[in-house]
Protein backbone atom coordinates (compact mmCIF):
# COMPACT_ATOMS: atom_id res chain seq x y z
CA UNK A 1 0.00 0.00 0.00
CA UNK A 2 1.19 3.50 -0.87
CA UNK A 3 0.38 5.89 1.99
CA UNK A 4 3.33 8.23 1.46
CA UNK A 5 1.97 9.95 -1.67
CA UNK A 6 -0.89 11.60 0.24
CA UNK A 7 0.55 11.15 3.75
CA UNK A 8 0.26 14.84 4.65
CA UNK A 9 -3.46 14.98 3.80
CA UNK A 10 -4.14 11.65 5.55
CA UNK A 11 -2.29 12.67 8.70
CA UNK A 12 -3.95 16.10 8.73
CA UNK A 13 -7.40 14.51 8.51
CA UNK A 14 -6.59 12.10 11.34
CA UNK A 15 -5.17 14.94 13.45
CA UNK A 16 -8.43 16.86 13.00
CA UNK A 17 -10.32 13.87 14.40
CA UNK A 18 -7.93 13.61 17.36
CA UNK A 19 -7.78 17.32 17.99
CA UNK A 20 -10.15 20.07 19.12
CA UNK A 21 -11.87 20.58 15.76
CA UNK A 22 -15.50 19.61 15.15
CA UNK A 23 -14.35 16.84 12.79
CA UNK A 24 -15.04 13.46 14.37
CA UNK A 25 -14.41 11.11 11.44
CA UNK A 26 -12.42 10.79 8.24
CA UNK A 27 -12.64 8.28 5.42
CA UNK A 28 -9.83 6.95 3.25
CA UNK A 29 -9.97 5.09 -0.05
CA UNK A 30 -7.87 4.10 -3.04
CA UNK A 31 -6.93 6.25 -6.01
CA UNK A 32 -8.62 4.40 -8.89
CA UNK A 33 -7.29 0.86 -9.24
CA UNK A 34 -3.95 1.68 -7.62
CA UNK A 35 -2.84 0.87 -4.06
CA UNK A 36 -2.37 4.57 -3.30
CA UNK A 37 -4.44 5.77 -0.33
CA UNK A 38 -6.16 9.17 -0.27
CA UNK A 39 -8.65 11.11 1.87
CA UNK A 40 -12.18 10.54 0.55
CA UNK A 41 -14.18 12.65 3.01
CA UNK A 42 -14.46 13.99 6.57
CA UNK A 43 -17.42 14.86 8.74
CA UNK A 44 -18.66 16.26 12.04
CA UNK A 45 -21.84 14.24 12.76
CA UNK A 46 -20.43 10.97 13.99
CA UNK A 47 -20.82 7.35 13.03
CA UNK A 48 -24.24 7.63 11.41
CA UNK A 49 -23.01 10.24 8.99
CA UNK A 50 -19.90 8.19 8.27
CA UNK A 51 -21.96 5.08 7.47
CA UNK A 52 -23.89 7.09 4.89
CA UNK A 53 -20.64 7.90 3.11
CA UNK A 54 -19.32 4.33 2.83
CA UNK A 55 -19.17 2.95 -0.70
CA UNK A 56 -20.95 -0.45 -0.96
CA UNK A 57 -18.62 -1.55 -3.77
CA UNK A 58 -15.21 -0.35 -2.55
CA UNK A 59 -12.80 -1.24 0.22
CA UNK A 60 -12.29 1.80 2.47
CA UNK A 61 -10.81 2.70 5.85
CA UNK A 62 -12.49 5.01 8.36
CA UNK A 63 -11.13 6.68 11.50
CA UNK A 64 -13.83 7.87 13.89
CA UNK A 65 -13.94 9.40 17.36
CA UNK A 66 -16.58 8.17 19.83
CA UNK A 67 -17.18 8.65 23.53
CA UNK A 68 -16.39 5.77 25.87
CA UNK A 69 -19.78 5.06 27.55
CA UNK A 70 -18.06 4.37 30.85
CA UNK A 71 -15.19 6.84 31.15
CA UNK A 72 -16.73 9.56 28.92
CA UNK A 73 -13.29 9.93 27.35
CA UNK A 74 -12.83 10.08 23.59
CA UNK A 75 -11.80 6.82 21.96
CA UNK A 76 -10.73 6.27 18.38
CA UNK A 77 -12.01 3.47 16.17
CA UNK A 78 -10.48 2.25 12.91
CA UNK A 79 -13.01 0.63 10.58
CA UNK A 80 -11.77 -1.73 7.87
CA UNK A 81 -14.70 -1.54 5.43
CA UNK A 82 -14.75 -4.57 3.08
CA UNK A 83 -18.31 -4.86 1.65
CA UNK A 84 -19.55 -7.84 -0.34
CA UNK A 85 -19.55 -5.71 -3.48
CA UNK A 86 -15.82 -4.91 -3.25
CA UNK A 87 -13.49 -6.38 -5.91
CA UNK A 88 -12.06 -9.78 -4.97
CA UNK A 89 -8.45 -8.60 -5.20
CA UNK A 90 -9.20 -5.75 -2.77
CA UNK A 91 -10.74 -8.18 -0.31
CA UNK A 92 -7.57 -10.24 -0.38
CA UNK A 93 -5.41 -7.19 0.30
CA UNK A 94 -7.63 -5.63 2.98
CA UNK A 95 -6.15 -7.35 6.04
CA UNK A 96 -2.58 -6.39 5.15
CA UNK A 97 -3.53 -2.87 4.11
CA UNK A 98 -5.59 -2.36 7.26
CA UNK A 99 -2.48 -3.14 9.29
CA UNK A 100 -0.56 -0.53 7.29
CA UNK A 101 -3.26 2.07 7.96
CA UNK A 102 -3.39 1.18 11.67
CA UNK A 103 0.37 1.48 11.92
CA UNK A 104 0.37 4.85 10.14
CA UNK A 105 -2.43 6.34 12.27
CA UNK A 106 -0.94 4.85 15.49
CA UNK A 107 -3.91 5.93 17.59
CA UNK A 108 -6.82 3.49 17.27
CA UNK A 109 -8.19 1.90 20.43
CA UNK A 110 -10.41 -0.49 18.49
CA UNK A 111 -10.22 -1.95 14.98
CA UNK A 112 -13.40 -3.29 13.38
CA UNK A 113 -13.56 -5.42 10.24
CA UNK A 114 -16.94 -4.57 8.73
CA UNK A 115 -18.70 -6.20 5.78
CA UNK A 116 -22.04 -4.45 6.20
CA UNK A 117 -23.67 -1.70 8.23
CA UNK A 118 -24.80 -4.09 10.95
CA UNK A 119 -21.14 -4.56 11.88
CA UNK A 120 -20.79 -0.87 12.68
CA UNK A 121 -24.10 -0.12 14.39
CA UNK A 122 -23.63 2.44 17.15
CA UNK A 123 -24.45 -0.03 19.92
CA UNK A 124 -22.09 -2.65 18.52
CA UNK A 125 -19.23 -0.17 18.20
CA UNK A 126 -19.69 1.18 21.74
CA UNK A 127 -19.68 -2.34 23.16
CA UNK A 128 -16.32 -2.96 21.53
CA UNK A 129 -15.03 0.38 22.83
CA UNK A 130 -16.05 -0.32 26.42
CA UNK A 131 -14.66 -3.84 26.14
CA UNK A 132 -11.32 -2.43 25.02
CA UNK A 133 -11.23 -0.20 28.10
CA UNK A 134 -12.02 -3.11 30.41
CA UNK A 135 -15.42 -1.77 31.46
CA UNK A 136 -18.41 -3.99 32.16
CA UNK A 137 -21.10 -1.85 30.66
CA UNK A 138 -24.27 -2.43 28.65
CA UNK A 139 -26.24 0.18 26.73
CA UNK A 140 -29.30 -2.00 26.97
CA UNK A 141 -29.36 -1.51 30.75
CA UNK A 142 -29.48 2.22 30.26
CA UNK A 143 -26.16 3.00 31.93
CA UNK A 144 -23.76 5.53 30.53
CA UNK A 145 -24.13 7.51 27.35
CA UNK A 146 -24.07 6.44 23.73
CA UNK A 147 -23.44 9.86 22.22
CA UNK A 148 -20.35 10.45 20.19
CA UNK A 149 -17.50 12.54 21.51
CA UNK A 150 -17.29 16.12 20.26
CA UNK A 151 -15.40 18.99 21.76
CA UNK A 152 -18.27 21.36 20.95
CA UNK A 153 -21.04 20.74 23.56
CA UNK A 154 -23.65 22.27 21.27
CA UNK A 155 -23.06 19.49 18.72
CA UNK A 156 -23.36 16.52 21.09
CA UNK A 157 -27.08 16.31 20.56
CA UNK A 158 -26.81 16.37 16.77
CA UNK A 159 -30.08 15.86 14.90
CA UNK A 160 -28.32 14.34 11.88
CA UNK A 161 -30.48 11.69 10.20
CA UNK A 162 -29.00 9.20 7.81
CA UNK A 163 -31.70 8.94 5.16
CA UNK A 164 -30.18 5.75 3.77
CA UNK A 165 -30.45 3.95 7.10
CA UNK A 166 -33.97 5.36 7.55
CA UNK A 167 -35.56 4.31 4.30
CA UNK A 168 -32.80 2.53 2.39
CA UNK A 169 -32.67 4.96 -0.52
CA UNK A 170 -30.42 7.78 0.73
CA UNK A 171 -28.83 10.30 -1.59
CA UNK A 172 -25.36 8.87 -1.00
CA UNK A 173 -26.51 5.36 -1.89
CA UNK A 174 -28.16 6.77 -5.02
CA UNK A 175 -24.92 8.57 -5.79
CA UNK A 176 -22.82 5.39 -5.51
CA UNK A 177 -25.39 3.41 -7.47
CA UNK A 178 -25.27 6.12 -10.11
CA UNK A 179 -21.48 5.91 -10.13
CA UNK A 180 -21.61 2.13 -10.50
CA UNK A 181 -24.15 2.39 -13.32
CA UNK A 182 -22.06 5.06 -15.01
CA UNK A 183 -19.01 2.81 -14.76
CA UNK A 184 -20.98 -0.12 -16.20
CA UNK A 185 -22.22 2.11 -19.04
CA UNK A 186 -18.68 3.34 -19.64
CA UNK A 187 -17.34 -0.23 -19.78
CA UNK A 188 -20.17 -1.26 -22.09
CA UNK A 189 -19.49 1.68 -24.38
CA UNK A 190 -15.76 0.95 -24.26
CA UNK A 191 -16.39 -2.70 -25.14
CA UNK A 192 -18.60 -1.66 -28.05
CA UNK A 193 -15.99 0.86 -29.19
CA UNK A 194 -13.22 -1.74 -29.05
CA UNK A 195 -15.39 -4.24 -30.96
CA UNK A 196 -16.14 -1.59 -33.60
CA UNK A 197 -12.46 -0.65 -33.75
CA UNK A 198 -11.51 -4.32 -34.14
CA UNK A 199 -14.09 -4.76 -36.89
CA UNK A 200 -12.88 -1.61 -38.65
CA UNK A 201 -9.26 -2.69 -38.35
CA UNK A 202 -10.12 -6.15 -39.71
CA UNK A 203 -11.86 -4.53 -42.69
CA UNK A 204 -8.83 -2.32 -43.29
CA UNK A 205 -6.52 -5.32 -43.16
CA UNK A 206 -8.74 -7.22 -45.61
CA UNK A 207 -8.71 -4.24 -47.96
CA UNK A 208 -4.94 -3.97 -47.64
CA UNK A 209 -4.53 -7.69 -48.30
CA UNK A 210 -6.81 -7.52 -51.33
CA UNK A 211 -5.01 -4.44 -52.64
CA UNK A 212 -1.63 -6.10 -52.11
CA UNK A 213 -2.84 -9.27 -53.85
CA UNK A 214 -4.21 -7.27 -56.78
CA UNK A 215 -1.01 -5.23 -57.02
CA UNK A 216 1.10 -8.38 -56.86
CA UNK A 217 -0.96 -10.06 -59.58
CA UNK A 218 -0.73 -6.95 -61.76
CA UNK A 219 3.02 -6.73 -61.26
CA UNK A 220 3.38 -10.44 -62.01
CA UNK A 221 1.33 -10.02 -65.18
CA UNK A 222 3.45 -7.07 -66.30
CA UNK A 223 6.59 -9.06 -65.50
CA UNK A 224 5.37 -12.06 -67.48
CA UNK A 225 4.37 -9.85 -70.41
CA UNK A 226 7.79 -8.17 -70.38
CA UNK A 227 9.55 -11.53 -70.29
CA UNK A 228 7.36 -12.80 -73.13
CA UNK A 229 8.04 -9.66 -75.20
CA UNK A 230 11.78 -9.94 -74.61
CA UNK A 231 11.67 -13.61 -75.60
CA UNK A 232 9.70 -12.78 -78.73
CA UNK A 233 12.18 -10.02 -79.60
CA UNK A 234 15.09 -12.42 -79.17
CA UNK A 235 13.39 -15.03 -81.34
CA UNK A 236 12.66 -12.40 -84.04
CA UNK A 237 16.24 -11.17 -84.02
CA UNK A 238 17.50 -14.74 -84.16
CA UNK A 239 15.19 -15.48 -87.10
CA UNK A 240 16.46 -12.40 -88.95
CA UNK A 241 20.07 -13.38 -88.37
CA UNK A 242 19.38 -16.93 -89.56
CA UNK A 243 17.57 -15.65 -92.67
CA UNK A 244 20.39 -13.26 -93.45
CA UNK A 245 22.93 -16.01 -92.95
CA UNK A 246 21.04 -18.40 -95.22
CA UNK A 247 20.71 -15.66 -97.89
CA UNK A 248 24.40 -14.92 -97.80
CA UNK A 249 25.21 -18.63 -97.91
CA UNK A 250 22.97 -19.16 -100.94
CA UNK A 251 24.53 -16.22 -102.73
CA UNK A 252 27.99 -17.55 -102.05
CA UNK A 253 27.03 -20.98 -103.36
CA UNK A 254 25.66 -19.46 -106.57
CA UNK A 255 28.90 -17.64 -107.15
CA UNK A 256 30.89 -20.80 -106.67
CA UNK A 257 28.56 -22.70 -109.01
CA UNK A 258 29.13 -20.33 -111.99
CA UNK A 259 31.52 -21.87 -114.63
CA UNK A 260 34.86 -20.25 -115.04
CA UNK A 261 35.30 -18.46 -118.47
CA UNK A 262 37.35 -20.38 -121.08
CA UNK A 263 40.71 -18.84 -121.98
CA UNK A 264 40.85 -17.17 -125.41
Percentage of residues in the chain having pLDDT higher than 70: 80
157 or 45, greater pLDDT: 45
Sign of CA dihedral 174, 178, 42, 64: positive
State the pLDDT confidence band at 9, using cuts at 50, 70 and 90: very high
Q: Give the model's pLDDT for residue 188.
A: 85
Residue range 214-241, pLDDT digits in tens: 999 999 999 999 999 999 999 999 999 9
Q: Give the model's pLDDT for residue 177.
A: 64
Cα–Cα separations (whole angstroms), residue 246 to 4, 118, 250, 252, 253: 102, 117, 6, 10, 10
Q: Is the pTM of this model over 0.75?
A: no
CB-based contact 170:50 (threshold 8 Å): no
235 or 94, greater pLDDT: 235
Q: Up-side HSE of residue 78: CA atoms within 13 Å toward CB?
A: 21
CB-based contact 145:67 (threshold 8 Å): yes
Mean pLDDT of the chain: 80
Burial class (CB in 10 A: 0-12, 13-18, 19+), 59: buried
Instruction: Answer whether residue 122 shows pLDDT above 50.
Output: yes
Query: What is the C-alpha separation between 122 and 125, in angstroms, rounded?
Result: 5
Element holding 61 (H helix, E strand): strand 60-67
CB-based contact 60:28 (threshold 8 Å): yes
Q: Give the model's pLDDT for residue 155.
A: 38
Enumerate the β-bridge partners of residue 60: 81
Instruction: Answer whether residue 97 shows pLDDT above 50.
Output: yes
Query: What is the C-alpha separation between 211 and 218, in angstroms, rounded?
Result: 10
Amino acid sequence: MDISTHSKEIEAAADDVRGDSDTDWCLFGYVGKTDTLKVVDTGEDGLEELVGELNPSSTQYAYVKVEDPNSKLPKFVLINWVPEGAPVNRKGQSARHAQDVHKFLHGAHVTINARNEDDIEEEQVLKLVEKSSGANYSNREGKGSSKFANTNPDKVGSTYTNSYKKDGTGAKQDFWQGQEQAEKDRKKAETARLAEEKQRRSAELREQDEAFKARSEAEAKIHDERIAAEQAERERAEAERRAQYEAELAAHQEIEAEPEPEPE
